[in-house]
A = this chain, B = another copy of it.
Amino acid sequence: MASLRKTDRHAEDETLGETPDLEEFIGYNLKRAYVIVQADFRRALGEDGFAPRVFSALSLVVQYPNVTQSGLARMLGIERSGLVAIVDELEGRGLLKRTNVPGDRRVQALVPTQKGKTVYAEARATVRAHEEQLLSNLSTDEKATLMALLAKIRANGE
């Protein structure tokens, strides 16, 4: 998603001095912005850090201890089959544990460990700081506006 440069076209073709169609589409612009922010996220957390989805899962487990895997999958908007590997990773790193729930032997409630809470708090601070810096050309107001507009899109689509 690089920018359009003069040298990407051939000399002989004309260059309608216009904005490319693509930039009219919200979807295209959303994707480009997302790719940039996502790359920054990965840079922030480094090689051995969390993938975005793993970070998101940990965040929710810390905030909603005893959430079930199905519940977590619903919150994340993914299939519960896809969550298994994510929870495996978090449990493998000792950041949460699967615990059985007295009333229902099907479910595995997810509980963050102390380490999980600590590691999440650090990761959260790191990601926040990186976002802050990546978006330093946006004012606080602009960031708030952006969040509000994105929330409106979400409100429509679900």
Contacts and interface: CB of A to CB of B under 8 A. Distances in A.
Contact of A8 (B22, B71, B127, B142): B71
Given A60-B22, A66-B9, A150-B30, A76 B135 contact: no
B26 A30 contact: no
Task: Kindly state the interface size class of chain A when it binds its partner.
Answer: 35 or more
The A interface is mostly helix, strand or loop, or mixed, namely: helix
A63 to B, nearest CB: 6
A94 interface: no
Contacts of A1: 76-77, 154, 158
A142 B149 contact: yes
A84 interface: no
Nearest to A14: B65
9 contacts: A21-B59, A23-B147, A26-B147, A27-B52, A28-B52, A32-B154, A36-B156, A37-B153, A134-B157
Nearest to A28: B56
Interface of A: 1-5, 7-10, 12-13, 15-16, 18, 20-41, 52, 56, 59-60, 62-68, 71-72, 74-77, 101, 109, 124, 127-128, 131, 134-138, 142-143, 145-147, 149-158
Given A8-B68, A12-B66, A135-B156, 15 more contacts: A2-B75, A8-B71, A8-B72, A8-B74, A15-B64, A23-B147, A27-B34, A27-B38, A30-B33, A33-B154, A36-B154, A36-B158, A138-B152, A138-B153, A146-B150
